[in-house]
Amino acid sequence: MLAGRYNPVRLLLTMDAPLKIENLTKDYGHLRAVDDVSFDIKEGEIFGLLGPNGAGKTSIISIITTLEEPTSGSASVFGYDVAKQPKEAKYLTGCVPQELVHHGFFSLEEVLAIHSGYYGRWNNQERIEYLIEKLDLKRHRKKRVKELSGGMKRRLLIAKALVHEPKLLLLDEPTAGVDIELRATLWDFCRELQKTGVSILLTTHYLEEAEALCDRVLFLDHGKLKLLGEPKQLINELTEREVVMILKDPVPPVQHPHLISQTDHQLIFRFASSKSMGDLIAELPLDIRGIQDFIIREGKLEHAFERIICKSHEY
Ligand SMILES: Nc1ncnc2c1ncn2[C@@H]1O[C@H](COP(=O)(O)OP(=O)(O)O)[C@@H](O)[C@H]1O
Ligand SMILES: [Mg+2]
């Protein structure tokens, strides 16, 4: 019998990208759910797969976990093509599915032990304890899964996905319908996993969370890749910021191309997020000492996406 420290994941690791999606297309009958999508994820990266309902996010994840077969193109995990070497790819991947899966009869800790065994990790108590602690599941460890609340089931699924120490974690809408506390715990935990070199692909509807958490994001619409980049860079390139200048005293009418409104005590400007405040102020015929305060509303990832969707619908 192999020793408890035996870890197949370590033996399988390669220098290839944790995830590489190449020209992936998925048809369900006449519906093209994923349309020639390519991207890859770097080691230790948190990558957001974003897009409205029906955009094709879960279909991509289902192909990576081999629940669905691609119509064409490929997905590989650390260089292992999921269609040709599914076993290797599975050892390296952990997945938290969008839909809750039921293991009603078993207790929470039994589910984790059974799942460990499934990956050949029989002596894995240390890892299980770590996950129970991190996901705040201690008080519930003896409960049967059917007795757990929705939020606790979600925590269990996350622990289950991580029990074999995968190097690629797929999270499909992990925070949909869960409370703020779990969302915060989960994102903190993602950052901690990232530090240990785990790469994470997540889908979410909460664009503000994606903006704060993800190193890069990809936006899908009707199965097509619309946008890919770092949130900061996309916001800079595609959105506008609004600046409200609160004035101590009224000033004469200001002429400036970015001015959208002027009242006695405030001037409102809207301009590209890439333009600096310093440049704006330098262009104004104002004494800076006459400015009481600024309110700055930064562009958001959501606005970058809206812009791209509107643009593509114009054609
Ligand atoms: N098993 C399936 N059979 C037929 N159509 C499907 C199936 N799974 C998903 N679809 C359709 O494919 C499209 C993409 O779905 P999905 O990948 O679940 O998107 P998302 O996760 O972004 O909401 C949707 O139009 C959905 O109705
Ligand atoms: Mg989905």
pLDDT score, position 309: 77
**pLDDT value, residue 185:** 86
Determine the distance separating the centroid of ligand 1 and the alpha carbon of 187, expressed in angstroms. 26
Q: Which two tokens stand for residue 116?
A: 């460990």
* Residues with Cβ within 8 Å of residue 148, at least 6 apart in sequence: 108, 140, 156
Judge contact between 63 and 70, C-beta under 8 A. Answer: yes
Query: Is 144 found in the same domain as 62?
Result: yes
Asked, for residue 166, whether it belongs to a domain, the answer is: yes
Residues with CB under 6 A from ligand 1: 28, 31, 33, 51, 53-59
State the pLDDT at residue 311.
63
Most confidently modeled range among 22-36, 121-135, 279-293: 22-36
Which residues on neighbouring strands pair with residue 199, listed in sequence order?
A: 168
Helix (H, G, I), strand (E, B) or coil at 238: helix
Which ligand does the CA of 31 lie closest to?
1
- Residue written as token pair 């074999």: 164
Q: Quick check: is 191 in a domain?
A: yes
Same domain, yes or no, for 247 and 103? no
The mean pLDDT of 131-151, rounded to a whole number, is 90
Band of pLDDT at residue 2, cut at 50, 70 and 90: very low
Mean pLDDT score, 291-311: 88
Do 288 and 230 lie in a common domain? no
Instruction: State percent of the chain over pLDDT 70.
Output: 95
The pTM of this model reads: 0.88
Percentage helix, strand, coil for the chain under 3-state DSSP, each rounded to 5? 35, 30, 35
Q: Which ligand lies nearest to the CA atom of residue 218 in the structure?
A: 1
Query: Residue for token digits 């405040």?
Result: 277
Residue-wise pLDDT for 31-40, tens only, equals 999 999 999 9
Take residue 3 and report the two structure tokens written for it: 């020793």
DSSP secondary structure string for all residues of 139-162: GGTTSBGGGS-HHHHHHHHHHHHH
41 and 121 housed in the same domain: yes
- Per-residue confidence at 29, pLDDT binned at 50, 70, 90? very high
Q: Which ligand is nearest to the CA of 59?
A: 1
Structure tokens at 130: 């770590």
Best probe residue, ligand 1, of 30, 59, 224 (max atoms within 8 Å of C-beta): 59
Identify whether residues 120 and 219 lie together within a single domain: yes
Crossing angle of helices 125-134 and 150-162, in 10° steps, is: 140
Looking at the structure of the chain, the number of domains it has is: 2
Q: Which atom of ligand 1 is nearest to the CA of 52?
A: 22
Check residue 288 and report its DSSP letter.
Answer: G
Q: If you average pLDDT over every residue of the chain, what do you get?
A: 90
Residue 308 lies in a domain: no
Is residue 98 pLDDT above 90, yes or no?
no
Q: Residue 233 to residues 39, 144, 215, 299: CA-CA distances in angstroms? A: 17, 46, 11, 11
Q: Quick one: 229 and 247 in the same domain?
A: no
Cα distance between residue 191 and residue 209, in whole Å: 13
Residue 202 alpha carbon to ligand 1 centre in Å:
17
Residue 132 has pLDDT above 80, yes or no: yes
305, part of any domain:
no
The reply to whether 180 falls in a domain is yes
Q: 215 and 275 share a domain?
A: no
Higher pLDDT, 4 or 10: 10
pLDDT at residue 118, rounded to an integer: 87
Is 313 inside any structural domain? no
Sheet with 72-77: strands ordered across? 31-41, 19-28, 72-77, 80-81
Task: Specify the pLDDT at position 5.
Answer: 56
User: Using only C-alpha atoms, what is the Rg of the chain?
Assistant: 24
CA of 93 to the centre of ligand 2 (A): 18
Is the pLDDT at 315 greater than 50, yes or no?
no
Residue 132 lies in a domain: yes
For residue 177, pLDDT beyond 70: yes
- pLDDT confidence of 1, banded at 50, 70, 90? very low
CATH at 222: 3.40.50.300
Whether 45 is in a domain gets the answer yes
pLDDT at 175: 83
Residues 138 and 258 in one domain: no
Give the DSSP H or E segment for 242: strand 240-247
Average pLDDT of span 159-188:
89
Taking residue 87's Cβ as centre, other Cβ atoms within 10 Å add up to 11
* Residue 273 lies in domain: 240-298
- Check whether residue 212 and residue 95 sit in a common domain: yes
Are 254 and 208 found together in one domain?
Answer: no
Sheet with 46-50, strands from edge to edge, namely: 93-96, 168-172, 199-203, 46-50, 216-221, 224-229
CB-based burial label for 79 (10 Å; 0-12, 13-18, 19+): middle
In terms of pLDDT, which residue wins out, 149 or 221?
Answer: 221
The secondary element (H helix, E strand) that includes residue 228 is: strand 224-229
113 and 213, same domain (yes or no): yes
Ligand 1: distance of its center to the CA of 56 in Å? 6
Q: Which atom of ligand 1 is nearest to the CA of 172?
A: 21
What angle (nearest 5°) sits at the alpha carbon of residue 24, between those of residues 14 and 97? 75
Residue type, 285: P
120 and 184 share a domain?
yes
Mean pLDDT of 174-188: 84
Count, residues in the chain: 315
- Looking at the predicted structure, is the pLDDT value of residue 217 above 80? yes
The residue whose C-alpha atom lies closest to atom 8 belonging to ligand 1 is 59
